[in-house]
Each structure stands twice: as structure tokens, then as C-alpha cells.
Structure 1
């Protein structure tokens, strides 16, 4: 049993693509990360990349995978204890600094223990997250004043400012911020909720990959919170994802934020699985 790895997205897709497609909701972070790498390569860029897939002895089927663009967050599928142990060993020998990993709760705990045993260093527990999937979209019973509009290039400075504020409140997005903004901007993935022409909240979606789109981030200016703008812009982007062909519309919530968890439930999102970020 071992990890195989490459820096070539097409090789990774041929070896792990079928595995990722079996549960595109649980593998949403890997799929969107792989898409970002592929788009960068198409644009003539070559970000540092390590893509891995796990196979048991004598087997040809992939049963785990990870996507990593150092020094950003490594995202992993479900890991057995053996896969977690071997992944810790692999990363401990790399020249690129490992900074943080995101995986389902049990896998993140298994990797943390493996990292401690392998390196002698303990990882810190970061945010605990819950993956949700949209069932039937339920618009807020009382829609607040204003309307949603698609973001244009003229809004980029506002997006950068608000994303910076979001990261300060909620933590890193796990990718390069400018690339994150521009990727969604180029695909028409951003929406603003405006009142009298003034933006008060924003949300974005990833491209539809394997029938799946994920909402991130959702942000309302502090002075405009508690008025339903976050729910309204989330509903607008959720509908846009459905209209774009997504069978699975997903989002992550921070379990430490009961307000947002409650809001997403009211508009139709239901829990799928708990995740955890661990930090070096």
C-alpha cells in the first residue's frame, strides 16, 4: 500500500478521477482545487502542485486522494489510518513546507496523530466545519429590500476588500486570494446583494464540476448584518448554481457560528459530513 503522486493534473485525473467522481459532494474541495490547477496551466502558469492517490497492495482501484498547492492548504479525501500514516511520512520528507490539511473529522484526527508520531510535532486544531447540501431551495419568507446582481470587473476592488475582511474573520480560504477572486470573476460566479444600488452582501460559487458547485464565501458587511441580506444573496447564488446545471449545491459552515448554520438550514441546506482543518 502506498501513495503515488504527480504534478501533472492529467495523470492525476486518469488515476484518481473515477474515485473522485464516486462522491463529488465529499470530494468537492479536491475537485475544485484540481480545476484551479488546470485553469492555471491553461493560462500558462505552473503553480507548485502535488497530487496523490492511494492504493492497497495488489489493487488497481484508487481509494484515497489529495490535492496540494504548497504552501496553501492540502485537501484530502477520507483516509484510513494506514493512508494517514504514509501521508504524514511523505509530507515530512518534502522540501515544500506543510502548513495545514482539511479532511473529514476522523481523517484529520488520524493524520494529526500520524504527524505527531512521524515528526514529533503536534498539529493545532483549526476550524471545525460542516458540509451541507441543498435540498429544496427555500427563499426567505420575508425577502429584504434590494436585489441580486452579477459582479463585473468594475467590482474587483470591492471583492478584494471584502474577501480580505472575510479571511480576517473566518480564516484563510486555503488558496491565493487574487487567483480565487479572478477565477470566480471570469466565470460569472460572484453575486452582490444591493440596496438602492449600494452593495451590502456578497456570495460566490465554484464552477460546476462533476455535477457539483460549492458556495464560498458568503459575507455581509458588519453594519448590515441581521437584516436578511446574507440569506438572500445565498439563495440567489444557490439558484444560479442550480441554473448552471449543478445537481449538488454545497457549502461549508463553521460549527462555531450557530447563526449561519441556522440561516442555511432555513433556506434548504442539510448536513452531510463534518470536516476539520489541522494546522502546523
Structure 2
């Protein structure tokens, strides 16, 4: 397919106007663009005009794929056939663009990383392989650990930031999380729930992104290492999943680390079903 069917711009409003319906049409596979665009469009200060390169692939039937590249210089891409991934790599290089990496479903990410390596001479390296899950029928854990779920309040903010720092360190994210940077991190826009023991001690947490197009993505789910293996993570995940359904969500999704069989088995027991493999590549 000719590469000139890709339309590139730095205009968030135009991109949303022309590609928003396509993105909403597949809320599970497009969950990351959905939540990211919603954040940029609705949260003051989250988006700096002109800071993001947007792209949409137009065919006879309308938009067929999209990407965006924010200031991190990392490309987020919806599913593409290999020849289209190659054409996009050629188009971006011809225009003088550089990239630090790509995130997409496994097939698309691998195809684009290979094309970028051939064309740009970069060395692609897989940072992490993930699995995308969607909720089928919620099955609460049995037995359920003692305690209850409760919303995280303002009085918990320091504790919440500490747990987000610990989570980021666990998954290898290089991010500063403190009172001064919190609003600009990917953790700020979520609603959090703690699972706490009967004496009120928090032992696990789960975050939920705002609902968009009927979809809620859970992220992050974190239990401190010393408290794992007691069912707390399953309990808080089930609690947040139930709340999302009660709020009207038609799709509840989450990503897992493909290298962690324990967490993947936990989510399957709760009723989550794998939809796709995902990959994050760095370009060296």
C-alpha cells in the first residue's frame, strides 16, 4: 500500500475528529489510545499543543490504523499488516523523524521494529512482552481474604505515591513520582482502591482509568512483595472489576507481564481472558 495514505499532523483536535470513531470502534484493542487521547483532551496541562505527532492511515472505508508519538519519542501503534508497518517506517524516515521505540500488539510491534532496523540501522530490543486480557464473567476469589476494599482518599496520597513508586520500580519504569510531579505522571488520572485488613491496614491496591467508550482499563495492580501470596491482589482486582461493571462498563481490560505466570493465572481465575500478545521495543 502506498505510504502516502498516511496523514500526519500535530493537531490533536483534527486527529480526534477524523480518527476518534475508528479508535472507539475497537475499545479493547485500542484501549491505550482511547485513554491517552481522553486524558490529553480533557485534563488541563496534560497535553502541550504541537508536542505530539499523530498519524492515521486512510483507505476506501475510512481510517484503518492510527499512531501517535509524544515527546518521549516512542510510537504507539494500532494493529497493522507487515507491509503497512514497513511503509510507515519509510514514511517517517523520509520526513526525518526519529524514534526511541514502539509499542503495539506483538505482530505489529515486531514488524515495525524489523522495518525500522532495516531502514534506519537501529537495533531493536524487546523491553517487555505483555498480554492483553478482557473480563468475561467475573469470578470473585474463593476463599476471599479477610478485609474489604475501600476507595483511596486524599489522606492516603503520600502512601499511594510511595506504592506507585514501588510499582514503577518493579516494572522497570523510570519515572519520578512525588508531590511536584504527580499530576504529570500516568498514575494521576486513575481512581484507586485499597484492599485493607480488618484492622484497616492497606495490603494491596488497584487503579482504574476513567471509562471511555464503555471501556475501563485496570492499572496498576500492586501488592508489596512481603504481602504477596495471600490473595490480596486477587481480592482488590475483583473489587475494582466489580465496581467498573456496576458503573456501566461494557469492557474491562488489563495488561499483564507475559513473563509472570503467577499474575496471569490469577487473572484467568477471576474470569479474564487473553485477547492479544503485546510488546514494547526500544531502539538502540
How far does the alpha carbon of each residue in 1:55-78 deviate from its partner, in whole angstroms, 9 at most, with x for none? 24xx36111101332216432100
2:29 counterpart (26, 43, 53): 26
Counterparts of 1:1-280 in structure 2 under 5 Å? 1=2, 2-40=5-43, 42-43=44-45, 46=48, 48-56=51-59, 59=60, 61-71=62-72, 73-92=74-93, 98-172=99-173, 178=182, 179=184, 180-184=186-190, 189-195=191-197, 196-280=199-283
- The answer to which of 174-183 and 29-38 deviates more is 174-183
What stretches of structure 1 of length at least 5 have no aligned partner?
none
Q: TM-score, normalised by structure 2?
A: 0.88
Q: CA deviation at 1:136?
A: 1.0
Residue 173 of structure 1 and its aligned partner are, at CA, apart by 8.7
Q: Which runs of 5+ in 2 are unaligned?
A: none
- TM-score using structure 1 length: 0.90
Determine if contact 1:54/1:83 at 8 Å carries over to the other structure.
Answer: no
Q: CA RMSD in A?
A: 2.3
Change (3 A) 1:241 1:103: same
CA contact (8 A) 1:71 1:96 kept: no
Residues of 2 paired with 1:193 and 1:96: CA distance? 45
Q: Provide the aligned length of Structure 1 versus Structure 2.
A: 273
